[in-house]
Structure 1
């Protein structure tokens, strides 16, 4: 793929800043300009020809690009053609300089729409607010996703013109035409509520008569202990130890991969999970069976840390606030990932080399492959180990509230789904305890 000429890029970036395009979107705008220039080169088109942008946008549509992406691409190309075309043999004198296109490309302004710039700013504001509130990256991704879906639904209307009726129509559209699940519809509602309150700075009001997506009963996939062991036996280090912690402590995958050295208290036999779902902390007992493996992994982390320090790396990735407060923390042992990535990551711009943790996708892929090699007939993911953890505790007659605390659930109703995975041991017949034989009471106690 062609690279953007340096002079073109310099002027284009200046144009983005001048036109108020949020810095967070600059990378995407550069990408679309690069794609446009490459497209024109591939099909021998002049970049300033009125037909070139239209053909480029049509090509994006044929590739089933989301509408908001096509709009963003159109805006990027529009800014390039409006002010950032650098003369390179196309000018009359042949001198390098800024040159306007001969005419505004037909239909390009219509494709962009006056509202696009305001939507771009609204999306950037949404990202900024979410980051200010220190929400998780998954929440950020989800809220931005639903805001863009709302933009597609609204068409060319500006975000400030949206009302509760528009939200009602969108939520109904999701249920009736898109057939989303009840949880997805609720997620969209929460995302738009946040968008209205913190970006548009107005309230929904009451939203009535929305067609609700049908809530289907959910019964999680659970493995037997033998099946858990068979999958783990098929995993290579360090993925086998990751799976043992997922099952042995009931962790979510992101909670496990975000573990740092200081989260392990081997003397007390406790593991502290920081910033779990909902930014909550909790402590869970460490499985005694895998303590030797955990200590061996700690030694590997120490050796890798020493090697990284000698190589002059900049440290591990930390939350921005933590790094500002503890400037030396990224290079300290206690802050190192317990499951570090195999290679260092180079930060674009600063060229610093930092270490990240294992990638979720790699773990999921390894677990799926291991389940296949184990010849299991169940759908197995990383979360299946967490489901199995809760179900096996329930089978061992652990109190549901205890299981709730170990899982980090805010509402016991969420934990109650596991009661559907085990046979009921409840006595159905109503009897007075006076009618119980003493031996039966002693047995139940």
Structure 2
């Protein structure tokens, strides 16, 4: 089904509108799943009833999260709006509200313990997450040109919401980053010697900066260990390290550190924001560093601090 003319049409619409490769894979998955769930009927012959039945199946039988339900709904809305050319009206199903949860954060001792069980590029990725408040994809898609040692800043290009922003570059990470850049440059030179060495660029950037394909500044700071075929344009390139590779190393480090909390790459971002506020950083500055459009998103972190510093004693503490 993936190679069917209809699915190729879906992929073309996604790429024409410059959706990311991750969104493309997710949307293609949900469209295929929707079609198979409905006995391979063509989406043009289906409508609200079939969509509602599919989404209810995900919620009840598959017990998927609110975020997953919303992603499936967005994929189907895209399918009907841009491929079938029909807007879905009166759907008896809306975006599921995500439960509001206080984020899990790590203290300095826990972060240090995890760092002791990471090394090389994996230690540096974790240090960037905690030291700069980056999301994991933002860290993995950093390019050499994005690191400015003079102004001690890092450019986050095309981050969440397709926004560009700057964040701080910690003094402690300058030397490790410089060492990592030397390794990338050496690896890039080997690729050039093999007749390769092209950077992996999105189609829009490829058209604009085609001459920059082989410049080392456009190489990923954390390149993959293997060259691959570019998913859009078919040339041989070196993509960035996959998030699952870091997640696996992080999970091993957390287990080795004997930390009972559920720790993911995003936990470091939460810990970054909380630690800045604990140290007296203005919440507007934290908002800017995190790249939040709405201050209300950032305001979750003072609640974390408040829970810790309320100073309220439990009645059991007064028992003699």
Shift of 1:162: 1.8
Shift of 1:397: 3.6
Superposed CA offset, 1:342-365 (max 9, x none):
3434679x9965322222221111
Superposed CA offset, 1:97-140 (max 9, x none):
xxxxxxxxxxxxxxxxxxxxxxx433322211111111112211
Instruction: Answer whether contact 2:189 2:197 (CA < 8 A) is retained.
Output: no
Q: Which runs of 5+ in 1 are unaligned?
A: 1-20, 26-119, 429-445
Range with greater deviation from structure 2 (242-251 or 214-223):
214-223
* 1:312 maps to 2:195: yes
Structure exhibiting the larger radius of gyration computed from Cα positions? 1
4+ aligned runs moved over 4 Å, structure 1:
211-215, 350-353, 424-428
| Structure 1 Cα separation of the partners of residues 94 and 228 of structure 2 | 46
Q: CA RMSD of the aligned region, Å?
A: 2.8
Q: Which residue of 2 aligns with 1:217?
A: 100
* 1:387 maps to 2:295: no
Q: Which residue of 1 aligns with 2:23?
A: 139
Superposed CA offset, 1:381-409 (max 9, x none):
22221121122123234333332322223
Q: 2:255 pairs with 342, 364, 372, which one?
A: 372
Give aligned pairs, total: 310
Q: 1:273 pairs with 145, 156, 159, which one?
A: 156
Instruction: Answer whether contact 1:175 1:213 (CA < 8 A) is retained.
Output: no
| Structure 2 Cα separation of the partners of residues 264 and 394 of structure 1 | 25
* TM-score, length basis structure 1: 0.63
* 1:178 maps to 2:62: yes
Query: Taking CA–CA contacts closer than 8 Å with sequence separation of 6 or more, which of the two structures ends up with the larger relative contact order?
Result: 2
Instruction: Answer whether contact 2:247 2:265 (CA < 8 A) is retained.
Output: yes
Superposed CA offset, 1:65-121 (max 9, x none):
xxxxxxxxxxxxxxxxxxxxxxxxxxxxxxxxxxxxxxxxxxxxxxxxxxxxxxx43
Shift of 1:328: 3.0
Q: Which runs of 5+ in 2 are unaligned?
A: 313-320
Instruction: Answer whether contact 2:155 2:167 (CA < 8 A) is retained.
Output: yes
* TM-score, length basis structure 2: 0.86
Name the SS of the counterpart of 1:277 in structure 2. Answer: coil
Q: Which residue of 2 aligns with 1:244?
A: 127
Name the SS of the counterpart of 1:128 in structure 2. Answer: helix
Shift of 1:411: 3.3
* 1:198 maps to 2:82: yes
Name the SS of the counterpart of 1:276 in structure 2. Answer: coil
